[in-house]
């Protein structure tokens, strides 16, 4: 009976994932349909999938999208350190992936298939990173919160963050601890934003689901050691290197309280 009540709390996925629209820009996932309105469907089809980026393949529009994105972030932040730009680009994309997955999990009780081969990335877009889902097909609905959390882990952690991290480590030499710290920080940020929306809109069920899901996700071995948590507050055990950006400082959840004076490789773990 309890499992049935959990399932009955939610609605089915819709073709536009419209329930995400009210949550804010990082949560919105654009979808590609035959009648898209003023959108250039042909151009979207030319954009590389995230799968190509993870495999370090090239596309017709931007070449290798990870390299293109890192270079774009480097120019925007005016940093000459590729590692710094790669870390910031990584955290932004991780935030998008977590936000979409958590938003769907909380609002729909299920996820669309977010396979890297279905997600196209406009690497030239500003933050939030512009992602397009080329086909909305629902994954099986979880029968309880634990099953839903397992689906999020499979989709985001194993489907995206592991291959994304491997590609960036290979290309830019970023430490695994830094990348998982970015992932933990992005997850905590997405959960806080979702909790803030739910409270502002008097959605008590969404508040509970957000916190339950965040607790379950941070129990995963790859995320549990990324920082310390008090409720939805989070302080990471690593640094994203933003302090090395000209005019940058330490982030609100950084392990440092002030920018360190250290070698270029410091704070990478």
The tens digit of pLDDT for each residue in 204-259 reads 999 999 999 999 999 999 999 999 999 999 999 999 999 999 999 999 999 998 88
CA distance 17 to 125: 21
Cβ count within 10 A of residue 138: 13
Predicted pLDDT at 266: 44
The rounded mean pLDDT for the chain is 89
**Per-residue model confidence (pLDDT) at position 8:** 47
Task: Count Cα atoms within 13 angstroms, Cβ side, for 40.
Answer: 6
> By mean pLDDT, which of 59-68, 77-86, 94-103, 180-189 is the weakest?
59-68
| Domain boundaries along the sequence of the chain | 2-244
Nearest-Å Rg of the Cα atoms of the chain is 18
* Nearest-angstrom CA–CA distance, 149 and 156: 10
State the pTM of this model: 0.90
What is the model's pLDDT at position 69? 95
Supply the DSSP string of 84-152, one letter for each residue: HHHHHHHHHHHHHHHHHHHHHHHHHSS-B---TTTEEEETTS-SSPEEEES---BPPPPSSHHHHHHHH
**Residue 38: what pLDDT?**
52
What pLDDT is stored for residue 10 in this prediction?
62
Alpha-carbon distances, residue 143 vs 55, 59, 87, 131 (angstroms)? 34, 39, 36, 28
How far apart CA 200 and CA 245 sit, in angstroms, is 34
Token pair, residue 53, equals 């980026």
Q: Is the pLDDT of residue 40 over 70?
A: no
Query: Is 70 exceeded by the pLDDT of residue 41?
Result: no
Q: Which pLDDT belongs to residue 268? A: 44
Of residues 255 and 62, more confidently modeled: 255
Q: Which of 30-44, 84-98, 126-140, 156-170 bottoms out in mean pLDDT, i.e. has the lowest? A: 30-44
Q: Do residues 113 and 105 touch, judged by C-beta distance below 8 A?
A: no
141 or 180, higher pLDDT:
180
Distance CA 134, CA 212 (A): 30
Contacts of 51 (CB under 8 A, 6+ apart): 115, 116, 117
pLDDT at residue 12 tops 50: yes
Q: Say whether pLDDT at 61 is over 90.
A: no
In whole angstroms, give the CA distance from residue 154 to residue 94: 14
DSSP result, 166-211: HHHHHHH---HHHHHHHHHHHHHHHHHHHHHHHHHTT-HHHHHHHH
């Amino acid at each position: 009976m309890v499992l049935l009540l959990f399932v009955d709390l939610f609605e089915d996925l819709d073709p536009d994932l419209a329930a995400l629209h009210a949550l804010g820009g990082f949560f919105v996932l654009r979808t590609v349909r035959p009648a898209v309105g003023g959108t250039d469907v042909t151009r979207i089809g030319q954009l590389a999938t995230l799968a190509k980026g993870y495999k370090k393949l090239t596309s017709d529009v931007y070449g290798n999208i990870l390299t293109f994105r890192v270079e774009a972030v480097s120019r925007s932040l005016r940093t000459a350190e590729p590692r710094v730009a790669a870390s910031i680009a990584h955290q932004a994309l991780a935030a998008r992936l977590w936000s979409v997955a958590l938003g769907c999990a909380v609002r729909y009780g299920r996820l669309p298939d977010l396979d890297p081969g279905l997600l196209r990335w406009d690497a030239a877009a500003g933050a939030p990173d512009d992602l397009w889902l080329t086909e909305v097909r629902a994954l099986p609905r979880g029968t309880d919160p634990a099953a839903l959390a397992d689906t999020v882990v499979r989709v985001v952690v194993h489907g995206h963050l592991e291959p994304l991290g491997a590609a960036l480590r290979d290309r830019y030499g970023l430490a695994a601890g830094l990348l998982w710290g970015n992932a933990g920080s992005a997850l905590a940020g997405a959960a806080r934003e979702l909790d803030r929306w739910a409270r502002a809109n008097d959605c008590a069920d969404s508040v509970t689901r957000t916190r339950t899901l965040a607790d379950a996700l941070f129990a995963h071995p790859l995320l549990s050691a990324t920082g310390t948590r008090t409720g939805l507050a989070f302080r990471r055990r690593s640094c994203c290197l933003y302090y090395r950006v000209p005019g940058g400082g330490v982030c609100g959840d950084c392990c440092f309280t002030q920018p360190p004076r250290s070698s270029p490789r410091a704070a990478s773990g």
